[in-house]
């Protein structure tokens, strides 16, 4: 499977659809944009869409399906959102009830799928600029933290912004801001540089999600808005039914990462 | 009234609310973002929001009100969308039925107001970069054209992209791309540079909306996505009731233009 990195997204999705790849998708179909998934019933879709529109840094929408259609028409018109993700989580009233490899039996005409940008898209440009990504080096998940930065409320959706953290050498912090500013459609520039306490993070070694990573002498913690935010906020509303990807098991679109660079 | 340019948006809106300024808003409260208005009933709001999300270049959303609330909470929390625009247009089933200076009698709990970015926001940075704006020099409206560039359909909303055109000296075209690329949230980079026929414009001297402007020797027509697009598309759906600003009579927000620059 060493060629997963160089395969086209449609080939990788075919393997996923056949349940031959029930694993995290990091590094697959390199250069193509991967996305977080949130599926809600239409009744909540307007408010959730408005929430994403009002909070574009944590909730950058890549694609939203037509109500009832499982086809992500703009990002992967030959894909099926019900089968093409390696692992899904099904939540009822905010409680995780099941992990499954397809959601065909849960799908109905009343559903809207939201595909939300993911930090993978800006990690490659950072690496291309010589800024190593610690959680990739340490082969673990990115550390994520709840902050005291509120999101902007929309209808029933509200709550704190979740951020991801990457340690950056002091002399590379400016470049990290420049590089990620090019990608406003996938979290964009950092939300905060430096002191974690200023944004309500009491202990940098105790992330709320993901794993702790090493911060070396001369490195500064840099915080970006995180795509976990909309899921966390939606969960808070305890919708009757909500389906997401399992952490790390993303949807691979046909869109190239570079497409999201604004200049 | 020569101090209108230097007044704060809240002061200008107060004069507008008192019907003391029933005029186009260009140049007022300089440096603050002005916006196009489209009001629709909630029944159409999800589809229209989705349309804007899918077509961010022509439809950059600045603010969307909570259903039934006339307060643009994010862009001007002390304003009232029903009174603070100099002139409105009321459409029933796609037909203009009335021009009014407030819409209090039309407003009800079922309505959602969409404030959509406007090219004024990137014209100032162009001028600050030494690129003169011809329609300002010639004291007329910007020329706008229907193109053969389709928008991405969302529910009932679909139709061609409308563009605005500014002649730019050949040697300044690259800079014009750079400067406007900084503002993806207000139309962003041009959609097309050069030959109008390539995007379906048969006669550059016959704009579909606005006024013809002079294109001088050595100048290239540069086309940006235009905020008239969502209104044109919405009109096509012939909604029972739709309210917009009258052309040139914009909503003045409390947000500074520079806030929309991504880098």
Q: Out of A53, A61, A262, name the one closest to residue B184 (CB).
A: A262
Per domain, the residue ranges of chain B are 2-118+238-260, 120-229
CATH topology of domain A2-118+233-258: PSTPO5379-like (3.40.1640)
Q: Out of A61, A74, A181, name the one closest to residue B263 (CB).
A: A181
The alpha-carbon gap from B249 to the nearest alpha carbon of chain A, in Å, equals 25
Buried b (16+ CB within 10 A) or exposed e, B90-104: bbeeeeeeeeebbbe
Contacts of B258 (CB under 8 A, 6+ apart): B31
Cβ-Cβ contacts under 8 Å, B61 against chain A? 53
Cβ-Cβ contacts under 8 Å, A42 against chain B? 46
pLDDT tens for each residue of B92-129:
998 999 999 999 999 999 999 999 998 888 898 899 89
Contact A262 B188 (CB under 8 A): yes
As a whole-number percent, the residues of chain B with pLDDT over 90 amount to 79
The CATH classification of domain B2-118+238-260, taken from the options 3.40.50.150, 3.20.20.60, 1.10.10.10, 3.40.1640.10 = 3.40.1640.10
Q: Out of B45, B52, B262, name the one closest to residue A262 (CB).
A: B262
Residue B62's closest CA among A152, A158, A62? A152
Contact A53 B45 (CB under 8 A): no
Specify the length of chain A in residues.
Answer: 263
Mean pLDDT of chain B: 93
Q: Which CATH superfamily is domain A120-229 in?
A: PSTPO5379-like domain (3.30.2040.10)
Whole-number CA gyration radius for chain B? 18
Residue B15's closest CA among B27, B5, B2, B4? B4
Contact B262 A189 (CB under 8 A): yes
Q: What are phi and psi of B36, to 5 degrees?
A: -75, 155
Residue the block writes with tokens 């964009």: A188
Contact B263 A178 (CB under 8 A): yes
Mean pLDDT of chain A: 93
The alpha-carbon gap from B140 to the nearest alpha carbon of chain A, in Å, equals 31
Mean pLDDT of B204-231: 94
> Does the pLDDT at position B42 exceed 90?
yes
Contact A263 B182 (CB under 8 A): yes
Residues 43-82 of chain B whose Cβ lies under 8 A from any Cβ of chain A: 45-46, 49-50, 52-54, 61, 64, 66, 74
Residue of A nearest to B73 (CA): A152
Interface pTM, i.e. ipTM? 0.77
How far apart are alpha carbons B61 and B49 in whole angstroms? 9
What one-character-per-residue DSSP string does A68-91 give?
T----TTT-TT--TTTSSS-EEEE
How far apart are alpha carbons A74 and A226 in whole angstroms? 22
Inter-chain Cβ pairs, chain A and chain B, closer than 8 A: 54
Most confidently predicted of B173-187, B212-226, B245-259: B212-226
A262 touches chain B (CB under 8 A): yes
Distances in Å between the alpha carbon of B63 and those of A99, A130, B246?
A: 37, 38, 18
Mean pLDDT of B69-82: 97
Contact B74 A54 (CB under 8 A): yes
Q: Out of A45, A52, A74, name the one closest to residue B46 (CB).
A: A45
Contact A64 B54 (CB under 8 A): yes
How far apart are alpha carbons A263 and B189 in whole angstroms? 9
Token pair in block for residue B254: 């409390």
> Does the pLDDT at position A60 exceed 90?
yes
pLDDT band at B2 (very low <50, low <70, confident <90, very high): low
How far apart are alpha carbons B171 and B188 in whole angstroms? 20
């Amino acid at each position: 499977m060493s060629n997963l990195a160089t395969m086209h997204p449609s080939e990788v999705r075919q393997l996923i659809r056949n349940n031959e790849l029930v694993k995290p998708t990091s590094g697959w179909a390199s250069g193509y944009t991967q996305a977080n998934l949130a599926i809600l019933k239409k009744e909540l879709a307007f408010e959730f869409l408005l929430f994403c529109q009002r909070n574009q840094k944590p909730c950058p929408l890549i694609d939203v399906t037509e109500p009832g259609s499982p086809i992500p028409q703009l990002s992967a018109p030959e894909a099926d959102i019900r089968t093409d993700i390696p692992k899904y989580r099904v939540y009822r009233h905010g409680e995780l009830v099941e992990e499954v490899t397809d959601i065909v039996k849960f799908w109905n005409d009343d559903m809207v799928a939201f595909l939300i940008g993911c930090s993978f898209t800006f990690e490659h440009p950072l690496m291309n600029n010589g800024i190593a990504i610690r959680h990739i080096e340490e082969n673990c998940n990115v550390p994520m933290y709840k902050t005291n930065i509120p999101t902007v409320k929309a209808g029933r959706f509200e709550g704190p912004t979740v951020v991801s953290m990457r340690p950056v050498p002091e002399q590379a912090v400016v470049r990290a801001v420049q590089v990620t500013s090019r990608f406003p459609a996938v979290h964009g520039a950092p939300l905060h540089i430096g002191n974690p306490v200023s944004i309500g993070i009491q202990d940098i070694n105790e992330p709320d999600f993901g794993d702790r990573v090493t911060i070396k002498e001369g490195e500064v913690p840099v915080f970006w808005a995180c795509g976990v935010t909309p899921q966390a906020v939606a969960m808070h509303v305890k919708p009757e039914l909500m389906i997401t990807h399992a952490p790390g098991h993303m949807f691979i679109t046909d869109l190239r990462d570079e497409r999201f660079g604004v200049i």
